[in-house]
C-alpha cells in the first residue's frame, strides 16, 4: 500500500512577515510629478505634505518641469497693474489666485510711475522716467509673485561718451530682456538697452551676474544707409537677433546678438504706417505678422534672403480675420511662448472696453483673454502658481 504524503504547513509564527510596499523614492516621485500636465494640479500636490512641497519647489525640478510644460498665460501687465485672464479662458481660475500688484516698488510721483517695458520668464522689466531728462529712465526688474525687485544702476555719462553719445543729445531710448538663465543658472538674466541720437544708435547690455552695464556695439545712421530717422519701435528678439521698426518708415533695423552686427531690411511697400511682429517660423527661419491700426485682418508673411543681408523677398502666406465687432482700432505685440497678442477696440463708439486676444503662431487660432477699460497696450504675463515659483531676484 502506497504511503500517503502529508503536506505540513508551517506554524503561523514561522511565516515570513508581509513585506510593505516599496517606498517611493524622490527620483521616482520627481518622474511622476513631471507627468502632471496641469501646473495648477501640481501646485495642489505640493500642499499635500512637506516632502512633496520640498521636491516641487526645488528650482532644479521646476526647470525640468518648465522645459516640458509650457507656462500658463495668466493675463497682462500694464502700468495699472496685473489684469488676469477672464472666463471662459482656461487660465482664468489660476489667474485670479495669483493676482498681484506693484505696490511694493520704490515710491514715485503720480506723474512718473513705473511702466512695464517687457515681461519674460515671470520677471517684469519696468521703467520710470526721470524728471530732469524725459528720455532717460531708471530701470527695475521684479518678480511680482515673490514681491522682490532689483533696481538697475544707471548708464554713466562716461559709458555714453565712449560711443559718441551725450545725455543731452539722446532723442529716444528703450529696453528689453535679452534672455534669462539656462538650465544651470536660473537666477541670471540680461537686459538690453538702446539709445539713439540724431547721428548714432548705441546698445548696452546689463548682466545680473556682474551687476553692471557694458557697451555692446554702436553704429551711425549713415552706416545703415539712413539719412533721416525716427523712433525705434516694435522691438522683438527672435533667434538671438533683435528687430526694430522705424516709425513712419518702411525699414527694419536688425542686430545679430552673436556677431553684434547691424543691418537694415526693407519692408514691403505700404508698411510705413503698419505695425509688425517678427516671429520664429521653425528651422531658424523668421516670419512676420502685419496689421494696420484700423484693419479687419492680420497678414502673415515669410521671407527669403536673396544674395545679401539687406535683400529679402516677402511672401504673403495667410490672412487671418480679426474677431467680429472688434476692428475699430488694433495694436499687436509679442511674440511670447508661441503667441502674438492683439488689443482690439469694438466698433461701437459708446463702449468703454477693449479686448485682448492671443493668436497662436502655429495654428492662427485667436482666443479672447480678457476685456479691459484702459487703452495703453499691456504685456502678456506667463507664469506658474506661487507655490511653483522660486525666488529668483
Please state the φ and ψ torsions of residue 129, each to the nearest 5 degrees.
-70, 135
pLDDT value for 26: 81
What pLDDT, in 10s, does the model give residues 186-203? 568 899 999 888 888 999
Q: Are the beta carbons of 204 and 193 closer than 8 angstroms?
A: yes
Rounded mean pLDDT, 62-78: 86
What pLDDT, in 10s, does the model give residues 330-351? 889 989 999 999 998 887 765 6
pLDDT value for 311: 53
pLDDT value for 48: 83
* Range with the poorest average pLDDT among 75-79, 273-277, 375-379: 375-379
| C-alpha cell at position 294 | 484700423
H helix and E strand count, the chain? 6, 23
pLDDT value for 291: 92
What pLDDT, in 10s, does the model give residues 283-311? 778 899 999 887 789 999 998 765 455 55
pLDDT band at 22 (very low <50, low <70, confident <90, very high): low
Strand 285-291 vs strand 297-305: parallel, antiparallel, or unpaired? antiparallel
Residue 226 has pLDDT above 90, yes or no: no
Neighbour-count burial for 323-339, b at 16+ CB within 10 Å, e otherwise: eeebbeebbbbbbbbeb
pLDDT value for 183: 40
Distance in angstroms (rounded) separating the CA atoms of residues 284 and 281: 7
DSSP three-state, residue 252: strand
Q: Are the beta carbons of 76 and 356 closer than 8 angstroms?
A: yes
Tell me the H-state helices in the chain.
26-34, 39-45, 50-56, 59-68, 92-97, 157-161
Rounded mean pLDDT, 66-74: 84
Residue 334, preceding bond cis, omega within 30 degrees?
no
> Given CA atoms 42, 43, 44, 50 in this order, what sign does their dihedral have?
positive
Residue 263 has pLDDT above 50, yes or no: yes
Other Cβ atoms closer than 10 A to 68: 9
Taking CA atoms, 301 is separated from 253, 286, 337, 356, in Å, by 18, 9, 19, 22
Residue 271 has pLDDT above 50, yes or no: yes
Per the DSSP assignment, residues forming a β-bridge with 340 are: 359
pLDDT band at 110 (very low <50, low <70, confident <90, very high): low
Distance in angstroms (rounded) separating the CA atoms of residues 367 and 290: 18
Most confident of 68-72, 95-99, 257-261: 257-261
Distance in angstroms (rounded) separating the CA atoms of residues 390 and 277: 31
Q: Are the beta carbons of 215 and 159 closer than 8 angstroms?
A: yes
Question: Mean pLDDT, the chain, as a whole number?
Answer: 82
Give the DSSP letter string of 200-232.
EEEEEEEETTTTEEEEEEEEETGGGT-SS---E
pLDDT value for 282: 79
- The angle subtended at Cα 327 by Cα 89 and Cα 94, nearest 5°, is 15
Chain center to CA of 25 = 35
Rounded mean pLDDT, 58-62: 82
pLDDT value for 126: 93
Distance in angstroms (rounded) separating the CA atoms of residues 366 and 209: 39
What are the residue ranges spanned by the domains of the chain? 102-220
Q: Are the beta carbons of 207 and 190 closer than 8 angstroms?
A: yes
- Angle at which helices 26-34 and 59-68 pack, to 10 degrees? 30
**Judging by beta carbons within 10 Å of its beta carbon (0-12, 13-18, 19+), is residue 10 exposed, middle or buried?**
exposed
Report the predicted TM-score, pTM, of the whole model to 2 decimal places.
Answer: 0.82
* Range with the poorest average pLDDT among 162-171, 238-247, 264-273, 352-361: 162-171
Amino acid at each position: 500500500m502506497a504511503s500517503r504524503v502529508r503536506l505540513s504547513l508551517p506554524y503561523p509564527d514561522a511565516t515570513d512577515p508581509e513585506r510593505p510596499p516599496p517606498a517611493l523614492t524622490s527620483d521616482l516621485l520627481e518622474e511622476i510629478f513631471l507627468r502632471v500636465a496641469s501646473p495648477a494640479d501640481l501646485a495642489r500636490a505640493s500642499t499635500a505634505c512637506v516632502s512633496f512641497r520640498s521636491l516641487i519647489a526645488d528650482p532644479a525640478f521646476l526647470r525640468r518641469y518648465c522645459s516640458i510644460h509650457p507656462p500658463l498665460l495668466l493675463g497682462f501687465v500694464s502700468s495699472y497693474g496685473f489684469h488676469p485672464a477672464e472666463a471662459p479662458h482656461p487660465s482664468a481660475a489660476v489667474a485670479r489666485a495669483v493676482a498681484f500688484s506693484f505696490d511694493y516698488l520704490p515710491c514715485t510721483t503720480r506723474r512718473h510711475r513705473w511702466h512695464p517695458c517687457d515681461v519674460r520668464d515671470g520677471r517684469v522689466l519696468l521703467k520710470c522716467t526721470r524728471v530732469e531728462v524725459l528720455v532717460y529712465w531708471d530701470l527695475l526688474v521684479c518678480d511680482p509673485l515673490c514681491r522682490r525687485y532689483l533696481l538697475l544702476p544707471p548708464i554713466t555719462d562716461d559709458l555714453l561718451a565712449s560711443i559718441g553719445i551725450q545725455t543731452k543729445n539722446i532723442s529716444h531710448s528703450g529696453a528689453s530682456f535679452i534672455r534669462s538663465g539656462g538650465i544651470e543658472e536660473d537666477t541670471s538674466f540680461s537686459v538690453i538697452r538702446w539709445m539713439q541720437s540724431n547721428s548714432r544708435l548705441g546698445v548696452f547690455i546689463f548682466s545680473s551676474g556682474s551687476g553692471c552695464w557694458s557697451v555692446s556695439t554702436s553704429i551711425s545712421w549713415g552706416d545703415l544707409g539712413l539719412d533721416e530717422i525716427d523712433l525705434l519701435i516694435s522691438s522683438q528678439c527672435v533667434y538671438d537677433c533683435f528687430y526694430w521698426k522705424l516709425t513712419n518708415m518702411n525699414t527694419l533695423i536688425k542686430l545679430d546678438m552673436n556677431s553684434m552686427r547691424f543691418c537694415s531690411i526693407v519692408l514691403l511697400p505700404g508698411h510705413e504706417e503698419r505695425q509688425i511682429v517678427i516671429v520664429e517660423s521653425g528651422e531658424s527661419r523668421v516670419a512676420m505678422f502685419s496689421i494696420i491700426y484700423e484693419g479687419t485682418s492680420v497678414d502673415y508673411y515669410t521671407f527669403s534672403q536673396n544674395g545679401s543681408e539687406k535683400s529679402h523677398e516677402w511672401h504673403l502666406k495667410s490672412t487671418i480675420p480679426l474677431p467680429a465687432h472688434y476692428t475699430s482700432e488694433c495694436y499687436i505685440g509679442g511674440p511670447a511662448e508661441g503667441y502674438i497678442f492683439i488689443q482690439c477696440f469694438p466698433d461701437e463708439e459708446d463702449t468703454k472696453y477693449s479686448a485682448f486676444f492671443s493668436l497662436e503662431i502655429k495654428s492662427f487660432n485667436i482666443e479672447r483673454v480678457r476685456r479691459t477699460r484702459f487703452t495703453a497696450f499691456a504685456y502678456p504675463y506667463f507664469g506658474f502658481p506661487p507655490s511653483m515659483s522660486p525666488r529668483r531676484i
